[in-house]
């Protein structure tokens, strides 16, 4: 892991990316806020300053602006052909795998004229040009234009040319060795990155398995808690229903008691009515008798009539009292029925 980090940071330095002081590991990049955004911004500007110069080197302070610029960068990287999942979250809150994948992807898009191999080729060309140019200058300095060429000078120039050719050949060989070494290092880096990617994929798979297990455990616990809560609610609802049924049962018993009392009172009233009917018949018979008895003394007759009137009045009063009781009983029964209907509703 340390070698892969060294290769990554070395590649960044070779591309001209300025890494903040104190940041020399992947953990340092992801732990410091805005460092990864700064690195991606620098590489994008190296790729095309005119096109990607819209991004500031430091990440904005406001959360909404952070999300906006990171989402913009993620969209640009995705349009460049990045196949991995990417959004503002991978730029603003990256993981180590996000850092390596995105930085390696962006460095591959740096133009050839800015890459290290191109710089080496330019350096070799410049070295060859300098050697040839120096040889021409040397010739111009050592060969006077109007002086006859001597054999000694010819031999000396041959020796100089031979030395220069050897130097040139040695320089070219050194540069070829450097190129071969860099190619070998690049292949090694690619192999290490492949191994690292496989290791990261295994780690991610393990993390996903752990997360799935944790989620399953949490879902089971949540389901258990939810079922227990639903069971408690069902028990409470059942208890409430039982209480309501008990109240209804009590009310029904009260109504039945009222009905029984009403029936008893009704029976008594019927009996009293029958008695009144009997008394009324008796009065009618007495009236008939009173009509028949005309020869009774006037004083006795008046006294007898008064007694009959008093008896009749008392019987009528009793009948009126029974009627009033019956009316009150009916009103009470109606009120009780209305109250029961309201409570049931």
Q: Is the predicted pLDDT of residue 149 greater than 70, yes or no?
A: no
pLDDT at position 335? 85
Per-residue pLDDT tens digits for 179-201: 778 877 877 887 888 888 888 88
Per-residue pLDDT tens digits for 158-169: 777 777 777 777
Q: Which two tokens stand for residue 166?
A: 């050897």
Q: Which two tokens stand for residue 89?
A: 């979250």
Q: Phi-psi region for residue 22, left (φ > 0), alpha (ψ -120 to 50) or beta?
A: left
Residue (of 171, 154, 340) closest to 248 by Cα position: 340
Per-residue pLDDT tens digits for 305-330: 788 788 888 888 888 888 888 888 88
Rounded to an integer, what distance in angstroms lies between the CA atom of residue 154 and that of residue 324?
161
For 296-325, give one letter per residue: b (16+ CB within 10 A) or e. Answer: eeeeeeeebeeeeeeeeeebeeebeebeee
pLDDT at position 212? 66
Rounded to an integer, what distance in angstroms lies between the CA atom of residue 307 and that of residue 300?
11
Residue (of 57, 65, 64, 63) closest to 39 by Cα position: 57
Cβ atoms of residues 90 and 22 within 8 Å = no
- Of the chain, the percentage scoring pLDDT greater than 90 comes to 15
Residue 4, Cβ neighbours under 10 Å: how many?
A: 18
Q: What is the mean pLDDT of residues 3-11?
A: 81
pLDDT at position 117? 43
pLDDT at position 70? 94
Residue (of 17, 185, 19) closest to 106 by Cα position: 17
Angle at 278 between CA 277 and CA 280, to 5 degrees: 60
Q: Which range has the top average pLDDT, 11-20, 39-48, 303-312?
A: 39-48
Which of the pair, 218 or 248, is modelled with greater confidence? 248
Cβ atoms of residues 43 and 53 within 8 Å = no
Q: What is the mean pLDDT of residues 293-311?
A: 68
- Listed in order, strand segments (DSSP E) in 194-302 are none
Q: Is the predicted pLDDT of residue 253 greater than 70, yes or no?
A: yes
Q: Is the predicted pLDDT of residue 41 greater than 70, yes or no?
A: yes
Q: Is the predicted pLDDT of residue 30 greater than 60, yes or no?
A: yes
pLDDT at position 172? 74
End-to-end CA distance of the chain: 75
pLDDT band at 125 (very low <50, low <70, confident <90, very high): very low
pLDDT at position 292? 63
């Amino acid at each position: 892991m340390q070698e892969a980090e060294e290769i990554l940071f070395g590649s960044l330095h070779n591309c001209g990316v300025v890494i903040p002081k104190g940041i020399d590991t992947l953990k340092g990049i992801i732990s410091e806020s805005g460092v990864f955004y700064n690195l991606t911004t620098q590489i994008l500007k190296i790729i095309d300053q005119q096109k990607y110069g819209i991004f500031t080197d430091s990440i904005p302070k406001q959360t909404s602006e952070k999300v906006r610029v990171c989402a913009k960068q993620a969209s640009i990287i995705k349009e460049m052909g990045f196949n991995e999942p990417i959004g503002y979250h991978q730029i603003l809150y990256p993981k180590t795998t996000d850092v390596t994948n995105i930085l390696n992807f962006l460095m591959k898009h740096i133009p050839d004229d800015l890459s290290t191999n191109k710089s080496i080729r330019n350096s070799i060309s410049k070295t060859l040009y300098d050697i040839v140019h120096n040889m021409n200058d040397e010739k111009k300095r050592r060969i006077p234009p109007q002086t006859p060429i001597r054999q000694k000078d010819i031999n000396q120039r041959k020796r100089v040319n031979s030395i220069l050719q050897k130097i040139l050949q040695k320089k070219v060989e050194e540069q070829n060795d450097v190129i071969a070494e860099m190619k070998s290092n690049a292949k090694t880096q690619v192999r290490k990155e492949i191994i690292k990617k496989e290791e990261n994929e295994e780690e991610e798979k393990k993390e996903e398995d752990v997360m799935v297990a944790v989620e399953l455990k949490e879902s089971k616990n949540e389901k258990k808690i939810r079922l227990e809560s639903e069971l408690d609610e069902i028990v409470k609802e059942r208890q409430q229903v039982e209480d309501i049924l008990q109240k209804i049962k009590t009310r029904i018993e009260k109504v039945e008691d009222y009905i029984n009392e009403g029936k008893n009172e009704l029976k008594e009233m019927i009996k009293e009515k029958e008695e009144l009917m009997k008394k009324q018949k008796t009065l009618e018979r007495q009236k008939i008798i009173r009509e028949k008895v005309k020869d009774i003394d006037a004083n006795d007759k008046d006294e007898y009539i008064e007694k009959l009137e008093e008896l009749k009045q008392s019987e009528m009063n009793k009948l009126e009292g029974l009627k009033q009781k019956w009316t009150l009983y009916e009103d009470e029964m109606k009120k009780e029925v209305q109250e029961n209907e309201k409570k049931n509703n």
